[in-house]
Structure 1
Amino acid sequence: MDKLNQAQLIGLAQNPNAPTSTLLALLGTGDHEIQRRVLSTPHVPAQVWDAAVTHPDEHVRRMVANNRYAPPEQRARLVTDPAADVRIATAQGPSALRETVPPLPEHAYAVLAEDADRRVREALAGRHDIPPSTRRTLCADQDPGVRAAAVHAWPDPPDDITDRLLADPVPSVRRTAALKVVARRPELVPALLADDELDDYDKATKVAKTARLDRETALRLARHEDPDFREAVAANPHTPADLVAELARDPEHEVRLAVSMRPELTEEQRAAIDYHVAPKDFVRPPGWAWERLDDLQTMRRCATSAHPALRRAAAYSPYLPPDLVDLLAEDDDFSVRLLLTEHHPSPPPALLLSTLLENPFISRFDELSRPEFPRENLRRFATSDDPGARALAAHDPDAPPDLIERLSHDPDPGVRRVMASDPRLPRPRLLALLADRETATAAAANPALPREVMTALMT
């Protein structure tokens, strides 16, 4: 097929009105991109899933294994797949940032936990959502990498498991188990932070940030030549006050920033520290706030702080009451407003629109599918200088077909593609855009595309 026809078939694979016979034919094209698009929509018919699970190309079967739209009973059929890479993908499961992916049936996890290939078991062990019985099996696995991965991913392993793994014959397993329970077993801290263990950089800094340190260890790390260790101690809630005061004057900004977010500081004390948070700076929420997103008193303290990073931390909380939502919706820090739209279940509709218009990131349209997004009179943006704003006109339920047709001639290809997928687009213009490689994919995905045209694209 030529590149125009490939672009058309990629769009047809996503068309919600494409018949099952067409989708099955597209699945048999051998083009991996077309096949991926067939399986990347929430309206895949059961027959198509059946064909994909039994497809002779293991690449297609892997698409099912890590597909968030695939029904769990279909993914479960792959636990005995002859290809190890398919079983590994099944063990890893689909990735989803916000949506909850339904788990596999429990028997499927048990099969994967006994897989002959160590890589399958290790991939399964790295998941956080497997049944406790499966986790126990993996913590007793013959392979040390599997045992370590299993205890590392277990949110709160029971004492009998950690006791056994703390006595494991393999040092890396013992260390992973110790890191998992160090918060409740402070006697493990000195060994984990011994000088010869600091090479395990990420894990050592995590311990230095959270564990209860003795005075000697805290002093050694607070004056360590590596600023990352000083930053970790600066964030540690157990660090003595005199060391905190010393770190507040550290030459490294990230160290001073960590001090500025400590929970015991007053607003005046925070303001006295030389730190800055630029609009595009990514600052991780401090642990004391991140662990209490459901605590109203903590969130109120963060939301009303003059510290932008603490207000951002509050914006992560889906539990904020209406008064704090309204307060943060008016925040002068764009990241606060953006995080609020991304994480709160009920952000103000006007905020969703204003944030989209202001957002400079590739994620600017992510919230457009939310039912509360305000769609009334979006056609008013049809003459905007911003192409993204002009494209919003297609999401106005009352936008007339002649406006959609006019915007389908827009100089910006992104705007033309949005209009090409709009069912209100007059048919002659839809067919013209279907013949243009730049807009062919969007036009072929248009649910108003006639069936006879779909057939013609396939032939």
Structure 2
Amino acid sequence: MTQLLTDIDDGPADVPASRHELFTEFFISGGFRVDLIRLAATHHRPGVRRAAAGSFGALDESTQNALLADVAEEVRQAAAASVAYDRQIMRPDDLPELRGHTYFMVLQRTLSPELARQVAAGDDMAAIEFVAGNRTTPPDVVEALLVHSDVAVRRAVAKRQDLTEEQLTRLIADPDVAVRTEVSAHPSLTEPQRALVDIDVDSVSSGDFGPASGNVRVSLESRWSDEDVLRWARSVNPLLRRQAAYDSRLPLDVVLDLANDADLGVRTILAFHHPEAPPESLLRCYLEYRGRGRAQLIELPQFPTAGLAHYAEDPDPTLRQLAPRDPDADPLLVERLVIDPEPPVRQAAAAGPRLPIARLVALLGDPELAEVAATNPSLPVSEMRRILTPGSSSGTAGPGRPGS
């Protein structure tokens, strides 16, 4: 990564983009990469450190101070400009008339009391949500939004880190379960307090527990301390346990506890993100989870294969496709699944190591399954040589072409 930052700073001539654009794209690749910004902030090249100073707010205080006192004037100036930008107070006249990207960017900056009150008194719920979560919103506005009629606004207030004990007490008694659930994960609450809050995690969850990109996960992990993650993993609150389950650094004893968690979200997030998630928990998640990325569970190296032939007769094709993976499956059963009505099942059978060799070789001429069959580890070496030999009469048929 250090060399890549150096290459970007050199500004490759064959790329039609500025250094600023390249650094920006690099820092946000796959998510906002705090870890990359921190790496850039300590790079040996001042040009790279200057680029990091443009994301000043993402850095910890010691790194910010280092950039403000950097030996290179260009870095000091960039850091000072970022501080000035962050401290510039947005007033009503700064809010664009058109409700677009810039409009909402303004609402995420330092707000004047006048602007915060103006937006909070309006009827644009999306804008009010931004004001409700803005750390510079005046206390009187936060207090008013605490009882706003819109649930989404009260949920935004519940996420604030500066809530008083009295405000937390009111929020955990909110009439809407989504608000109570949101505030139940607040860092200022004790575990006994969390245990008393009446929540419903489905009210704040989309049910999507699919895998986060590697970049996003690394970015999240870079913001969390080990102590925070271990505390969340042992929390009575499933939202905090879900957050902990994203961390691939969890020790094995904690992994085993979360793999048997009562919450499907915790178990599924762990299955996707921890390399030591138990095989049986991956199968359980595959059977119970129906959201984004479910099929990727099968491809994880620790996904179990023993006993999967049991699903060959299941009415659900997503379960039948597991059967050919069983190393002890009856070859005739796998052969039968090659003609299953569902394409994913047929493809799984074509890749199955227990598929009879004669049937496997025959599939090399099948327009639909030839490519999958050619990757089957049971394919004889002689057939592989024919496939790889130019002009061979038994090469795999291309998509839409009849076999030879």
Equivalence for 2:55: 151
Equivalence for 2:255: 325
Normalized against structure 1, the TM-score is what? 0.58
**What letter corresponds to residue 202 of structure 2 in structure 1?**
A
Equivalence for 1:312: 242
Aligned-partner Cα distance in 2 for 1:374–1:284: 23
Aligned-partner Cα distance in 2 for 1:356–1:283: 14
Aligned-partner Cα distance in 2 for 1:197–1:283: 32
Aligned-partner Cα distance in 2 for 1:283–1:413: 27
**What letter corresponds to residue 256 of structure 1 in structure 2?**
R
Equivalence for 2:146: 222
**What letter corresponds to residue 206 of structure 2 in structure 1?**
F
Equivalence for 2:178: 254
CA displacement 1:157-176 (0-9 Å, x = unmatched): 64443421344699799x97
- Residue pair 2:366, 2:397 contacting (<8 A) in 1 also: no
CA displacement 1:223-244 (0-9 Å, x = unmatched): 4555444322222221122222
Aligned-partner Cα distance in 2 for 1:255–1:424: 53
CA displacement 1:342-374 (0-9 Å, x = unmatched): 222311222122222322235223233333333
User: Paired residue for 1:232, among 145, 156, 160?
Assistant: 156
- Residue pair 1:311, 1:336 contacting (<8 A) in 2 also: yes
Comparing both chains, which one has the higher relative contact order based on Cα–Cα distances under 8 Å and sequence gaps of 6 or more? 1
Q: Is 2:398 the counterpart of 1:443?
A: no
Aligned-partner Cα distance in 1 for 2:243–2:287: 23
**What letter corresponds to residue 311 of structure 1 in structure 2?**
R
**What letter corresponds to residue 247 of structure 1 in structure 2?**
L
CA displacement 1:264-323 (0-9 Å, x = unmatched): 3345543554431239933899xxx98875434x44543444433233223223333333
CA displacement 1:19-78 (0-9 Å, x = unmatched): xxxxxxxxxxxxxxxxxxxxxxxxxxxxxxxxxxxxxxxxxxxxxxxxxxxxxxxxxxxx
- Residue pair 1:280, 1:335 contacting (<8 A) in 2 also: no
User: Paired residue for 1:375, among 305, 314, 323?
Assistant: 305
**Taking structure 1 as reference, are residues 276 and 290 closer, same or farther at Cα in structure 2, changes over 3 Å only?**
farther
Percent of residue pairs bearing the same amino acid type? 33
Q: CA deviation at 1:417?
A: 0.8
Q: CA deviation at 1:419?
A: 1.6
**What letter corresponds to residue 395 of structure 2 in structure 1?**
M
- Residue pair 1:290, 1:313 contacting (<8 A) in 2 also: no
Q: Is 2:226 the counterpart of 1:295?
A: yes
Aligned-partner Cα distance in 1 for 2:360–2:304: 27
**What letter corresponds to residue 170 of structure 2 in structure 1?**
E
**Taking structure 1 as reference, are residues 281 and 312 closer, same or farther at Cα in structure 2, changes over 3 Å only?**
same
Aligned-partner Cα distance in 1 for 2:126–2:5: 33
Aligned-partner Cα distance in 1 for 2:135–2:179: 18
Equivalence for 1:414: 344
- Residue pair 1:293, 1:319 contacting (<8 A) in 2 also: no
Q: Is 2:39 the counterpart of 1:108?
A: no
Q: Which runs of 5+ in 1 are unaligned?
A: 1-101, 141-149, 183-187
Equivalence for 1:454: 395
Normalized against structure 2, the TM-score is what? 0.64
**What letter corresponds to residue 387 of structure 1 in structure 2?**
P
Give me the CA root mean square deviation: 4.6
**Taking structure 1 as reference, are residues 278 and 260 closer, same or farther at Cα in structure 2, changes over 3 Å only?**
same
- Residue pair 1:114, 1:121 contacting (<8 A) in 2 also: no
Q: Output aligned runs, 1:88-99, within 5 Å.
A: none
- Residue pair 1:378, 1:392 contacting (<8 A) in 2 also: yes
CA displacement 1:317-336 (0-9 Å, x = unmatched): 33333333232222222112
**Taking structure 1 as reference, are residues 195 and 106 closer, same or farther at Cα in structure 2, changes over 3 Å only?**
same
Match of 1:342, SS state, is helix
Length, aligned pairs only: 337
**What letter corresponds to residue 303 of structure 2 in structure 1?**
F
Equivalence for 1:194: 116
Q: Output aligned runs, 1:418-437, within 5 Å.
A: 418-422=348-352, 425-426=355-356, 428-430=358-360, 432-437=362-367
Aligned-partner Cα distance in 2 for 1:291–1:136: 19
Q: CA deviation at 1:439?
A: 3.3
User: Paired residue for 2:81, among 164, 169, 191?
Assistant: 164
- Residue pair 1:293, 1:299 contacting (<8 A) in 2 also: yes
Aligned-partner Cα distance in 2 for 1:118–1:201: 37
Equivalence for 2:30: none
Q: Which runs of 5+ in 2 are unaligned?
A: 28-35, 69-75, 96-101, 210-219
Equivalence for 2:271: 341
